[in-house]
Amino acid sequence: MNKKSKILSTPINKSTSSLMDDFNSSIDVDKRLIEEDIAVTSAHVKALVKLKVISKKEALTIQKGLNSILNDHKKGRLKFSKKNEDIHMNVESYLNKKIGNVANKIHTGRSRNDQVATDTRLWTIKASKNLQEEIKNLMKSILNQARGNEKTIIPGFTHLQVAQPVSLAHHLIAYLEMFKRDLNYFDFCINNSDENVLGSAALAGSNYNLDIGLLNKSLHFSKSKNNSMDGVSDRDFCIYFLHASSLTATHLSKLSSELILWSSNFMKLFNISSEYSTGSSIMPQKRNPDSLELVRSKTNSIRIKSIELSNIVSNLPLTYFKDFQEDKRIIFDCYDELISCIKIMEEVIKKSNFEKSIGRDLCNNYFATATDLADYLVIEKKIPFRDSYKIIADIVNYAQKKNKNLSQIKIDEYQKFQKSIDKNIYKYVDINKSLSRKKTPMSSNPKEVSKVIRKYIKFLRIR
């Protein structure tokens, strides 16, 4: 048995075995909360000063000690102890060593239950803002690739089959829309993490009339929790964070999968930077899109995190349980993986290039303007769409057998399928004119795409 004393050693809470110390300790994970924990303690001390539980002189001593601990941490001097379980007890232990018994006053009127919940909320707000900044950096890389490519033709796909011509810019803007929604989801996460738990104590509330307004102001919370039991047991904000991260991961996975396909020898639409591709151990001619494949893999793992935490908290009655110790491991791992994936994707997009010459050929070779031809018969020949659809299907079938694209079919050949077809049909065959023919504001019409690009330039500069 371990006979050494620690902060929580009492006749009731006797020394535990070294095996239990290791199993019970969370310091290897929650040491990451040291800045938040010191901020929370500083705020709590201010409230205790107002109640005259701590004198102003003592508060200065405590703050000096806390600043010294933080400075030691930044310089890599701190060695945390598993015997003191977590970041809260380790900070208190270090403070006691630095300033003596006055450190024993800092836990008056609070519990580790409300302390850790507040620490974690502060971290989640900070992490969400960091992720938002990285998402915006990624969006800027995508936007820079979109600018000037409003008329660069590529095929749009459905079911991985060439469908209709679109512009490269229009395609990339679809991802800007996704990542913009991610920014909004993290706003939701920030807003729902913005509730101070201090004053809840263990579960029933504090016996000290802590100035809640002072605590909120000191920690930059806009409000406090309404219910102390909910305060110490609520981990919904962590799940919101994981859900937001999961959605961003989904969008990154979509983008990485698409770029992997586009970089293949069969499509050749994307040339990945040599800085973010690797060679084969046996085939000297190959460059593999390993960065994108790792993003795809890691983002798939990220999406599991929200389920992992939901499973931990779903069957717990009120209020606090040691099960909650696992929440920080999950959200920290999620953050680390996600932010690295976003940064890698940003660099891949920034330093790679899209092949601008092949898209038009793909559209021509795979009859991407077939829908335009059906609309030609509707608009100019007043043929019902379902009838024109069948006529164009027959024409495409004919072109495939003759190994021709639609622009290579002569007018007399077209007229074999519909006598009223005239030379105006070639305007509808033209790949370039397909884009400008689109009428709706969300379409691939270059004029509409340019409007959206200008909106994103403004959005990313002022947000």
Whose tokens are 């983008």? That residue is 255
Taking the CA atoms of 226, 117, 336 and 247 in sequence, report the sign of the dihedral they define. negative
CA 48, CA 208: separation in Å to the nearest integer?
9
Whose tokens are 């605590």? That residue is 215
Measured CA distances, 172 to 72, 138, 188, 429 (Å):
46, 12, 25, 25
> Hey, what amino acid is at 406?
L
Provide CB contacts within 8 A for 14, sequence distance 6+.
none
Q: Which of 17, 280, 301, 407 is catalytic?
A: 280
> Hey, what amino acid is at 369?
T
State yes or no: cis peptide before 152, omega within 30 of 0: no
Provide CB contacts within 8 A for 301, sequence distance 6+.
337
Q: Is residue 420 annotated as a catalytic residue, yes or no?
A: no
- Give the Cβ contact number of residue 254 at 10 Å: 15
- Give the Cβ contact number of residue 126 at 10 Å: 15
> Hey, what amino acid is at 416?
K
Residue 340 near residue 395 (C-beta atoms within 8 A): no
CA 341, CA 182: separation in Å to the nearest integer?
15
Residue 409 near residue 392 (C-beta atoms within 8 A): no
CA 422, CA 169: separation in Å to the nearest integer?
33
Q: Is residue 220 annotated as a catalytic residue, yes or no?
A: no
Q: Residue 8: name the closest of 96, 72, 128 by CA.
A: 96
- Give the Cβ contact number of residue 397 at 10 Å: 11
- The H or E element spanning position 44 is helix 34-50
CA 5, CA 26: separation in Å to the nearest integer?
18
Return contacts of 17-23, CB within 8 angstroms, 24+ apart.
Answer: 21/82, 21/83, 21/85, 22/82
- Structural tokens at position 67: 């600043």
Give the residue numbers annotated as catalytic, written as ranges: 159, 280
